[in-house]
Amino acid sequence: MTNGAGGMSATAGLGGTSSPGNTTGGGGTTTAGGTSGTGAGGTSSNGGNGISAGAGSGGTSGSGVPETGGTTSADAGTGGTSAGAAGGGAQAGAPAATWSSAFPTFTEHTIASFDSGYMTVVADIDADGKPDVVALSSGSDGLVWFKNPTWTRYTITTKAKQLIYCAPYDVNGDGHLDLAVASDFDMSNTTSGGTVSWAEAPADPTQSQAWTLHAIGAVPTSHRLRWGDLDGDGKKELIDLPIFGVNSDPTTHAGAVALTAFSIPADPATGTWASRVLDSTHLETAHGIEVVDWDGDEAEDILTAANDGVDLFRPSLGSTAEHLGAGAVGHPPTKGSSEVGLGSLGGARFIATIDPWHGTDGVIYTPGAEATALWTRLDLGADFQHGHGLMVADFNGDGFDEVVAGGGQGALTELIYRYVPSTQKWDKIPLAMGTVAVSGIDVKDLNGDGAPDIVAIGTSPTNNVVWYENVAVK
Ligand SMILES: [Ca+2]
Ligand SMILES: [Ca+2]
Ligand SMILES: [Ca+2]
Ligand SMILES: [Ca+2]
């Protein structure tokens, strides 16, 4: 592995200042803990270091994607984007950026032991201004949250079984973050199960652990949930990505999934959630999803990672799948892409993935020569076994996003990919080896210092939740 400064410490050690401003990959995102986001508008810049900004032009200034409850949407860190076709590259709302050689170290802290940890999301559950860590187990430990900073553990529900995913949002608008929950997950059953519900937060989740479950709907093998404002009306819809299509082939999993959006009814506790199938023809073995505002029109858009690679969906435009990334060559289901995130290098857009399904390789896609062309695929190498977590974030606040990713088998590799303009290569900075069997990763500023931190959750054999404190270079 190469590293600007060598070694496991991830220290660039070259002096300079790191900005705590925490622009998460583009224009104007709000940040956690009440600190204000930066990401002011301005022209996109490639920092004079040879990065092509692609064909995009004429974008609007970035509109941040604030999550409910004041937590950062570091994962959505997309901000202003070019208004052109899918192939456009520039993020017009990105701040002028100058790449910084100074890069933080990361200190690992254990939050908890946690059986069969599957996914984690950071959200301020008790609304005290400190983002908390929600953890979901595919085993016996259920759905819980850990209060920042003591990491006291509180149960959310024991009623939902065969849990697979959750996503925070204030569903009923009472000021308390609720959780959409996918349960009754069974990879071998593509014709039933896939329950989707929401857990209603009590007034004080540190006093009462009785979250009430309300039905939303069911799509067999529901596997990933995200909230996104698909029509731009200011209220988010729940997006449900199943992993396998109904009655899909049990071996190849041929047969597309129904990417589905549910709308919150007037009375979310008792009303019927209208559902809308956004796509039912493109996505097989669909594993990754990211909500972004691709074109700055305030209606949010969706990136997916599946056997066909990376697709963009812009439901507000009534468009079908826009195929951006080819994914890895292979035999289904072991092909295509598995995780996906969107980032920016000083205004030039990129997509990061793990390829193929449950895959091995970190991959960077950059816009093709023409707006309609598939994006250029740069394979960074087979760094993972069972790669199962990826997030894009700007860890040193220089306007150039990095990628953190991890694998749940073998050496249990977690690393950060960081673009270096002088070499036009992506350095691999080890984050941890062997300590977390990564099933999921989230990135937020946990300690309120403005620098994004990393949370990772591990399944067997590590069975744990940890966070990596971003120790900025002073
Ligand atoms: Ca909190
Ligand atoms: Ca609520
Ligand atoms: Ca950076
Ligand atoms: Ca921090």
Each residue's pLDDT tens digit, 422-469: 999 999 999 999 999 999 999 999 999 999 999 999 999 999 999 999
Residue 176 has pLDDT above 80, yes or no: yes
Residue 168 Cα to ligand 2 midpoint, Å, equals 10
Under 8 Å CB-to-CB from 423, ≥6 apart: which residues?
A: none
Tokens (6 digits) for 320: 């079908």
CB 182 within 8 Å of CB 106: no
Residue 395 Cα to ligand 3 midpoint, Å, equals 5
Residue 47 Cα to ligand 2 midpoint, Å, equals 43
Return the percentage of the chain with pLDDT > 90, whole number. Answer: 76
Residue 401 Cα to ligand 3 midpoint, Å, equals 5
Closest CA to 127 of 203, 188, 181: 203
Residue 369 Cα to ligand 3 midpoint, Å, equals 25
Q: What is the DSSP letter of 92?
A: T
Tell me the residues surrounding ligand 4 (ion) with CB < 5 Å.
Answer: 445, 447, 449, 451, 453, 470
Mean pLDDT over residues 127-156, rounded?
98
- Dist. CA 24–CA 304, nearest whole Å: 20
Mean pLDDT over residues 131-155, rounded?
98
Mean pLDDT over residues 232-256, rounded?
97
Residue 3 has pLDDT above 60, yes or no: no
pLDDT per position as a tens digit, 410-420: 999 999 999 99
- Dist. CA 273–CA 244, nearest whole Å: 22
Which amino acid type is present at position 154? Y
Residue 98 Cα to ligand 4 midpoint, Å, equals 21
Residue 48 Cα to ligand 1 midpoint, Å, equals 41
CB 24 within 8 Å of CB 393: yes
Residue 186 Cα to ligand 1 midpoint, Å, equals 32
Residue 450 Cα to ligand 3 midpoint, Å, equals 13
Assign 95 a pLDDT band (cuts: 50, 70, 90). low
Range with the lowest mean pLDDT among 13-22, 115-124, 325-334, 439-448?
13-22
